[in-house]
Structure 1
C-alpha cells in the first residue's frame, strides 16, 4: 500500500500559498465592491442634482438639434460640462427664438446659452459675467455688389433677414425706415439661396451659421462685411428665485474648469466691433 503525505516544509509552503490566493481573492472582491459603490454613488449624485431647464435654438454650429433630435453644438457641450460642474442636471429644450424670449421672461425655462444684450430681455434676465466666445453679425452680399461700409448704406436697399431673429433690436431700426425693404427667410440656407437669386441686396445674418451652410464652389461668390460683434453668455431668467445664485455658480464652475484646463481661458470683452452708423441706442 502506498501512502500519500507531505513533508512539513512542503505542507507549510502549500498552506501559505493557499492563504495568499485567498487574500488576493478577498482583496479583488473588496476593490470591485468599492468601485461598484463609487459608481453607484456617482450615479446617485447625478440623479439627485437639481434639474436645470436649458433652452436652445437653431444656431449651428454653436447650438442646434441634430438628426436624432438631440441637442448638439459647441455651446451645448460647454453648457452641459459647466452645468454638471455647478451641480445641476441640464434638461435641454429646443425652441424657436421668440419662444426662448417668452419663456425666459415668464420663467418656464431657467437659462439660455445665447447672446448678450437682447433688448426685449432687459430687466428680465441676468447674463453670466463670463463669455466663452464671440458671435459676429455680418452683411452678406454677392461679389458683384459693393461691401457695406456704413449702416446708412442699407437705405434704399433690399435686406434679407432670418425669421424670428431681432438682431438685438436692429430689425426694428430697419423696419422704421420705409426705404429699406425687408424680406424674411425661414432659415440660413434659404437666406443664402435668396441672396444668390438676387431677391435681396444684402443678407443680415451671423457669421457662424452662414459659414456652416456654405457649399464650397457653389457659394464662392458670397462676400461678408462685419456689422457688429456680440458675446455668447448664459442668460438666466430673473423669474427664478435663485437666478443670481445660479449665475455665480456657473461663473465659479467655469473658473474651476479653466484651472483644470478643460475649457478655454476667460475672454477679455473689450474692443467689440460696431460698424459706423450703428444706432447708438442699440450699442
Structure 2
C-alpha cells in the first residue's frame, strides 16, 4: 500500500512538472507583412539563412531572449493581418499599432504593451536647396504620397487649403526615387521611413531637407499589440522584458540601426 501511494505521488509530481514546463514554454506568433511596413518589419525571403528583422522584430526578439517564450512568425499581406485577427485565426498573436489610428475592432481584441516602442512623426522630405524651406513653401506644389494609404483626418482639408497636388507612388522606395527624379516636390512619410529609405538607397541624408509636419498630422506612439487571450503571465513577461530593454537603452540602439 505504501509503495503504491509513493508511486502515485511521484506520478502526480511528474505530471505537475511536465505541465509547469509546458506552461512556461509559451509560444507567441508575430504577424508580419512583407515590404509595406519597413523598417518596422523587414521580412526575409529566406528566414533560415537571413532572419526576419526590422525595428519591431528586433526589439521583440531581444526582449524575449531573456524569457522562455518562443517566437514564431506568420507572414501575410498587410490588410490580411487585420482580417486574420478579426477571424481569430491565430493563438497568442502579436501585432502592432497606435491608439491614434488602429482599427477599433482589432484594438478590442488586443492589448497594448505598457512600453511604447517608438514615437513616429511625419515629415515632408525635399531635395536640398540653397534656402531652407518651410511648410509654407509646400503651397501649390506636388506632394508624393503612398497609393492606398489612409492619412489622418484633416490631411485632405490641408491639401485643399494649400492647393497641393498629390502624386501617388506604389511604395516608399518608389516615392523616394520619384522625388529624386523631380516627379514631385515633396515626399510625405514618417521620419523613420524616410531615413530608412535614404539609408537603403545609400544616399546621404544631408542631400535632403526634412520639414516637420506635426502640426497637420500629430505624432503618435507605436506599441506592440498582444492577443487579449494570451495568458496573463506571458503578457506580463513581455511587458517586463520590454521595460528592461528601455531602461538599458537597448530600444534606442535598435532604432539608430535603422536610421
- So what's the TM-score if we normalise by structure 2? 0.64
Structure-1 residue corresponding to 2:81: 100
- 1:79 partnered with 2:60: yes
1:225 is displaced (CA, Å) by 1.0
Shift of 1:123: 5.0
Residues 127 and 247, structure 1, Cα contact 8 Å, conserved in 2:
no
**1:256/1:203 CA distance change after superposition, 3 Å:** closer
Match of 1:64 among 42, 53, 56: 42
Partner residue in 1 for 2:71: 90
In structure 2, the partner of 1:182 is 166
Residue from 203, 208, 217 that aligns with 1:222 = 208
**Superposition pairs for residues 187-266 of structure 1, below 5 Å?**
187-214=171-198, 215=201, 221-228=207-214, 229-237=219-227, 240-242=228-230, 247-256=235-244, 261=248, 263-264=250-251
Q: How does 1:109-188 map to 2 (within 5 A)?
A: 109=90, 110-112=93-95, 114-122=96-104, 124-125=106-107, 126-144=111-129, 147-149=133-135, 156-167=140-151, 169-170=152-153, 173-174=155-156, 179-188=163-172
- Distance of 1:233 and 1:173 partners within structure 2: 23
Q: Is the 8 A contact 1:143 1:222 kept in 2?
A: yes
Query: Structure 1 length normalisation: TM-score?
Result: 0.59
Match of 1:10 in 2: none
- Structure 1 residue runs of 5 or longer lacking an equivalent are 1-40, 266-283
- After superposition, give the CA deviation of every residue in 1:37-76 in whole Å (9 maximum; x if it has no partner): xxxx9xx968972331212344444420235344112421
| Structure 2 residue 14 is matched with structure 1 residue 53 | no
In structure 2, the gaps of 5 or more residues are 1-16, 253-259
- Mapped to 2, the partners of 1:221 and 1:262 lie a distance apart of 29
1:12-27 equivalences in 2 (<5 Å)? none
Separation (CA, whole Å) in 1 of partners of 2:65 and 2:244? 12
Change (3 A) 1:210 1:197: same
Aligned residue pairs, count: 215
Alpha-carbon shift at residue 165 of structure 1 (Å): 3.6
Change (3 A) 1:46 1:199: farther
* Cα RMSD after superposing both structures: 3.8
- Bigger Rg, structure 1 or 2: 1
Shift of 1:234: 0.7
Please say if residues 53 and 90 of structure 1, whose CA atoms lie closer than 8 Å, have aligned partners that are also in contact.
yes
Deviations 1:223-267 (A, max 9, x none): 111224332311234xx43487654442123335567x58459xx
How many angstroms does 1:86 deviate by? 5.5
Please say if residues 160 and 183 of structure 1, whose CA atoms lie closer than 8 Å, have aligned partners that are also in contact: yes
- Structure of greater relative contact order (alpha carbons < 8 Å, 6+ residues apart): 2
Cα deviation for residue 194 of structure 1 reads 0.8
Name the structure 1 match of 2:6.
none
- How far did residue 204 of structure 1 move? 1.0
Tell me the SS of whatever aligns to 1:251: helix
Contact 2:195–2:205 (CA under 8 A) maintained in structure 1: no
**SS, match of residue 135 in structure 2:** coil
Cα distance, 1:91 vs structure 2: 1.4
